[in-house]
Amino acid sequence: MKLRAIEPEDLDLLYQIENNTELWQVGATNVPYSRYTLHDYIATSSDDIYADRQVRMVVENDEGACVGLADLVHFEPQHQRAEVGIVILPAYRRKGYGEQTIGKLADYALRVVHLHQLYAVVAANNKAAVALFQKMGFETKSTLHDWLYDGREYQDACLLQRFL
């Protein structure tokens, strides 16, 4: 498994994930993205976490199939921290890709970007994701009450943190 830069050929994958309304409740997105907007993002992204304050990568398995996306966002160089986000496509879940992805992101964050800490905000009722982050060395530091809104009701979120 490897993490690699997003290429123009990944437009369909990005379109599929970014426009999945089930994922909107865990992020800041609440409108669909056009192919044009996503193509422009791919074309204009510098792939430099210092310039963009984020880096997004494709998760690719050993056979070369795209199995998801991973990112470091809300990068704060002064405080040496960033938020982790991963989405593994449903067909590839529970096969170890989540663990490998978080491991590779943490290694990149420590060795390349020299971060001190990573954090994740995960829906408290997403037990599988909370357990995954905990397994990868993240500790639940607090519950953020009514943090996520799905259009019908508010959900609590867990703030998980890992020092590198």
Tokens, residue 3: 């993490």
Return the pLDDT at 151: 76
Q: What is the pLDDT of residue 112?
A: 94
Assign 118 to helix, strand or coil.
strand
pLDDT recorded at residue 26:
58
Residues across the chain = 164
pLDDT tens string 83-141: 999 999 999 999 999 999 999 999 999 999 999 999 999 999 999 999 999 999 999 99
Q: List, as own/partner pairs, every contact residues 27-35 make where C-beta atoms lie below 8 angstroms and the sequence separation is at least 24, other chains included.
A: 27/85, 35/11
Is-contact 82 75, C-beta < 8 A?
yes
pLDDT of res. 149: 83
Return the sign of the alpha-carbon dihedral for residues 132, 137, 142, 144.
Answer: negative
